[in-house]
Structure 1
């Protein structure tokens, strides 16, 4: 097993090297605790740091820790963990191949194979979809040259696939130079697209079907990862209010509030804590509850401020899916509830829906309210005139 295999374990040649060495993964997890420990480390670092940590000094341990990490992620089988793990492996690979392309010293690669840009393109069957503008692709050094000025041409289908998860107007196709079915990118952008190709490779293969012989050997490690996952606040700082993307339970509660129906205390707490968690202010939430029977502005404002931690030592999070079920507030479950978030948490659902949408096409509910208010003011001004 060569160092390059351990450095880029997602490559087919790395997988072939493991197969040719006759490695039995069941025996590895049972007899090689260092490999298992490094596999756990990859997953934990992915959760907490967004990378897979420092590589182990022993190439065999580093390489075999990759399939062990994938086993752990598969057995935990939580969408957020899978996504973070794939992102972390891709981020680490990006750091490594960017550094490799930038280092042209012969000494570094005297005793090892060197990863080149054509190698990486071939890995993902992109050799025919990417070409250098006005010349050959080269070994990758041009892609990381000062100023990232060299241009590459990427087939539009490939570009759309690999740029779909990138944020920012600069990635939108309408803002790119496009000619003869090819999109112009610079060297830095090409490497970002290749990072996404790595992420797709890792994400598409998960979760794995894990044999019982392997699963039984890593029970404690799986529980450790589950515990760490439960202790982390994995929801990002959400500050976008798009009701049509709410989880079914919260959509139902919001609809009931707006219809003026009476809500039990636990239901009021669930929707209020959800709305505070996605960035709504106390004033905005109070306005929503005005139509509810028995509404009292002072009491409602106090309760919302208490939930958000403004008048209490605790910033309350929305109830988990399990709690919503126990109170009878879990309704209208859809495929995302069943297959994606695995009944974890309403905020996980909402974050997933936001991630699937084009951020530039999302309209915040609060902006719509502001537009409506402006329109009404304009109409009133027109009538007065």
Structure 2
């Protein structure tokens, strides 16, 4: 594989081997002025992931540009590890995986098959479709809660799930995300910490700024002690910066809007999720709230929440109601009784 292609796919073992065999030592990468641009490219890579949820494509014409892009990946991983914040790890891993998926679209099936093998995804290619073993399908679609990803809705033959190329690439995206998340943070020594102290402190400030948008006063008159377990869990997931399935985002948005929370306040709560896109999220929230659609959506009832896999830790009161809003109202009556 030529170096330009290796630079586009820096997470491959072949890329790591190439860097190890032909490029600078760790000490040179950290201190040599010749690699200053590579260090800056690594910083840029992390900031793009944090602020844009993607890694942008940069010019790969000259040998110097290719080298900087190759080295930006290990540098970025070191910087993420210096920060050591789980929120940044998740955001960075997702951004790398989404960027990878976008670039895979230009690759042939031979490349995709090799990638799948490297990610330990058991697959077969037959008649224009790709078959993946059901165990790998389940492992790599755990965060995809929509009905279209449920195993029961897939074509299953001999233990293998048949997928289109597009859906298969989406599975590989999550496999790569999981691998990167599991690899980080790396152990970093004092020299690495000192080299990247500046961007580390700047990233910490930006992360705190994002997290600070999620404040208690955003709830207004809503009493969090009256929230049903499902909504409490979804809110807690947001607070820790973890991803929330689209079904959970819809349910939470509709629920909070029906309790009187403003769309802007709901938007701030979602700002901590790894794939946050303000424009897209605002549009979705305003659509659910009826500002653009003309229809104010009602949150799903309990049976639907269960089918989506977002009914968490039901308590005694849950057994007496059929809708999350009923839980909130009944809990309020109990407190005033």
- The two structures have a TM-score, normalised by structure 2, of 0.64
| Structure 1 segment 51-62 matched on structure 2, within 5 A | 51-57=54-60, 58-62=65-69
C-alpha offsets along residues 187-217 of structure 1, whole Å, 9 cap, x if unaligned?
1111111111221221110010012222111
Q: CA separation of 1:11/1:221 partners in 2, compared to 1, >3 Å: closer, same or farther? A: same
Conserved in 1, the CA contact under 8 Å of 2:42 and 2:72?
Answer: yes
Give the CA deviation at 1:77.
1.3
- Length, aligned pairs only: 253
Give the CA deviation at 1:62.
0.4
Q: Give the aligned partner of residue 334 of structure 2.
A: none
Conserved in 1, the CA contact under 8 Å of 2:89 and 2:184?
Answer: yes
Structure 1 residue matching 2:106: 3-state secondary structure: helix
Matched, 1:122 2:121: no
Q: Give the aligned partner of residue 341 of structure 1.
A: none
| Structure 1 segment 149-160 matched on structure 2, within 5 A | 150-160=128-138
C-alpha offsets along residues 231-256 of structure 1, whole Å, 9 cap, x if unaligned?
23576x99x95436748xx9xxxxxx
- Which 10-residue stretch deviates more, 20-29 or 59-68? 20-29
Conserved in 2, the CA contact under 8 Å of 1:25 and 1:214?
Answer: no
C-alpha offsets along residues 312-342 of structure 1, whole Å, 9 cap, x if unaligned?
x999x89xxxxxxxxxxxxxxxxxxxxxxxx
Q: CA separation of 1:167/1:48 partners in 2, compared to 1, >3 Å: closer, same or farther? A: farther
Q: Distance in 2 between matches of 1:87 and 1:225?
A: 17
Give the CA deviation at 1:221.
1.2
Matched, 1:361 2:309: yes
Q: Give the aligned partner of residue 79 of structure 1.
A: 86
Give the CA deviation at 1:99.
1.9
Q: Distance in 1 between matches of 2:176 and 2:112?
A: 13
Q: Distance in 2 between matches of 1:200 and 1:282?
A: 33
Q: CA separation of 1:55/1:280 partners in 2, compared to 1, >3 Å: closer, same or farther? A: same
Give the CA deviation at 1:279.
7.0
Q: Give the aligned partner of residue 16 of structure 1.
A: 17
Structure 1 residue matching 2:108: 3-state secondary structure: helix
Conserved in 1, the CA contact under 8 Å of 2:230 and 2:310?
Answer: no
Q: Which of these residues, 97, 107, 112, is aligned with residue 100 of structure 1?
A: 107
Conserved in 2, the CA contact under 8 Å of 1:71 and 1:208?
Answer: yes
Conserved in 2, the CA contact under 8 Å of 1:242 and 1:362?
Answer: no
Stretches (4+) displaced over 3 A: 244-247, 277-284, 363-366, 368-374
C-alpha offsets along residues 36-91 of structure 1, whole Å, 9 cap, x if unaligned?
21111111111111111223531110011101111111111111111110010011
Conserved in 1, the CA contact under 8 Å of 2:228 and 2:327?
Answer: no
Give the CA deviation at 1:171.
0.6
Q: Which of these residues, 213, 216, 227, is aligned with residue 194 of structure 2?
A: 216
Q: Give the aligned partner of residue 175 of structure 2.
A: 197
Q: Give the aligned partner of residue 243 of structure 1.
A: 229
Conserved in 2, the CA contact under 8 Å of 1:86 and 1:203?
Answer: yes
Conserved in 2, the CA contact under 8 Å of 1:41 and 1:53?
Answer: no
C-alpha offsets along residues 101-151 of structure 1, whole Å, 9 cap, x if unaligned?
39xxxxxxxxxxxx712221222233xx211235xxxxxxxxxxxxxxx32
Q: Give the aligned partner of residue 209 of structure 2.
A: 231
Matched, 1:50 2:6: no
Gaps of 5+ in 2: 237-251, 270-304, 313-317, 331-337
Structure 2 residue matching 1:99: 3-state secondary structure: coil
- Structure number with the bigger relative contact order (C-alpha 8 A, sep ≥ 6) is 2
Q: Give the aligned partner of residue 27 of structure 2.
A: 26
Q: Which of these residues, 173, 184, 188, is aligned with residue 206 of structure 1?
A: 184
The structure that has the greater radius of gyration is 1
Matched, 1:132 2:125: yes
Q: Distance in 2 between matches of 1:130 and 1:244?
A: 35
Q: Distance in 2 between matches of 1:198 and 1:123?
A: 10
